[in-house]
Chains A and B, each alone.
Chain A
């Protein structure tokens, strides 16, 4: 992505240049001046910017994420602020009440951190390793598929379908995730396959 390019064009485009100049001119104070007693030091100084897209509705507003640490440099990155991307043609830096609070989605107390398994009849989730969870899933799927796979229907037509396990695809994953999901699900012959388009 080329931030400079987008900025420059926007000056042509929506006249953000005006904004640039006028807004920039709000303070005429001595450039050397220290912060006034009342004013917090600007909290985004020296952070890393990353362009992203709001994960909620399909307006797909551009957002800028500000993080401590740079993922591209292989560092641990922790988001400290998110706001609308003024360079984005659709939202022009604006965000709705959900988008404006994205930071607390990223840091939500109910974010999931570990694989959990709830045994039949149990009243609690128990933490599991990824290996245990994934192997268990593969096993459950294969056993069901092998038992209930329909190769031919009653008329002897080859149908190769598996309809005793279903898959509900997400609505906020990327196209790339969607495609690898499609490959994995379809190749198994699954037909009970749907997404959130309807609700």
Chain B
């Protein structure tokens, strides 16, 4: 089996993840941080039994309190990601057109920790979203202004805004655990090791083995989901049907940061200020060249005459 994640230790240790390791920082620039080993979480949908251990482990480790909802005719509970549910098992009953057999596709949804994070790109608040050189994309509550731009920037529709607090929430890849040399709570808990965590390279190798096994069992399109459109992700999936990610509860086929967002946060941002600046400048220039447009004595006289001409 894949080497289990170690038990957390109770002896305090200096965090191995710090501001020195920042790669990107929203609405601000940081010096390229000290490089770290790239980490990744690999989610093997073919090993996943949809038990939701990842969900309860996440709730417990992150001290989250989700509210008890209702049954809406499905096993997906709660019904969507929320500010308290950073991960969610999504269940899809899919009949394979080739075999006519039912396949119960179960996908653990949550932040993908994109190498090129749309949330971070869209965020207007300096330091509200950070990306570490090991690949973790994390929200910084204190700097978040709750504008929801991250929601618009995310190609996977992951962040959720708390109306009460006006803050954005999502999976942190358990940065506090990783900082002391452990793996995410969900990966530690996962009964079948459908979730494993480690160096991204190791994860890719491990995935190769899984894909080989799946192909030997007739899943000819089995493959790894590490979408290049967002520069790859630090949460990857092994899919039995990698040719159609969409069937896994709408996993984007090839996610990219929306061009709208790119334009908004690119061209418009600069062009806009330029335009404003230009117009202002023209004003000054014009004033300097042609000077003020003054009312002359003659004008007043003329007006006076016109007024008196009547009386």
On A, residues with C-beta under 8 Å from B are: 14-20, 22-49, 64, 66, 81-87, 91-101, 103-104
Contacts and interface: CB of A to CB of B under 8 A. Distances in A.
Contacts of B16: 26-29, 31, 33
Nearest to A98: B56
B43 to A, nearest CB: 15
A181 B4 CA distance: 39
B130 A99 contact: no
A97 B10 contact: no
A103 B6 CA distance: 20
Contact of B130 (A14, A38, A84, A92): A38
Contact of B175 (A32, A39, A43, A48): A39
11 contacts: A22-B198, A24-B181, A27-B16, A33-B15, A35-B179, A44-B9, A46-B11, A64-B8, A83-B7, A97-B53, A101-B60
Contacts of B76: none
B129 to A, nearest CB: 9
B21 interface: yes
Interface stretch (B90-98, B106-114, B137-145, B254-262): B137-145
Contacts of A25: 37, 181, 199
A32 B14 CA distance: 6
Given A29-B16, A42-B176, A94-B190, A36 B6 contact: no
A15 B181 contact: no
A27 B134 contact: yes
Contact of B10 (A19, A41, A48): A48
B188 A94 contact: yes
A93 B22 CA distance: 31
B172 to A, nearest CB: 7
A22 B222 CA distance: 27
Contact of A47 (B10, B61, B134): B10
A45 B8 CA distance: 9
A26 B10 contact: no
Contacts of A22: 3, 198-199, 202
B8 A83 contact: yes
Nearest to A28: B36
Q: Which 9 A-B pairs have the closest CB atoms?
A: A27-B16, A33-B18, A19-B3, A100-B57, A38-B138, A101-B56, A92-B4, A45-B12, A24-B181
Chain B interface, >50% SS class = loop
A37 B182 contact: no
Contact of A95 (B36, B53, B175): B53
Interface residues of B, number: 65
Contacts of A35: 15, 18, 179
B185 interface: yes
B127 A27 contact: no
Contacts of B83: none
A177 to B, nearest CB: 28
A94 B4 contact: yes
Contacts of A87: 7
Nearest to B50: A97
A29 B178 contact: no
A97 B59 CA distance: 11
Interface string B34-60: 111101000000000001110111011
Contacts of B8: 42, 44, 64, 66, 83
A97 B185 CA distance: 12
A37 to B, nearest CB: 5
B138 to A, nearest CB: 4
Contacts of A14: 1, 3-4
B220 interface: no
B4 A86 contact: yes
Contact of A23 (B6, B139, B191): B6
Contact of B21 (A36, A48, A83, A84): A36
B20 A30 contact: yes
Contacts of A92: 1, 4
A93 B37 contact: no
Nearest to B49: A96
A29 B36 contact: yes
Given A16-B4, A16-B6, A100-B53, A36 B17 contact: yes
A44 B185 CA distance: 13
A17 B172 CA distance: 26
B19 A27 contact: no
A174 to B, nearest CB: 24
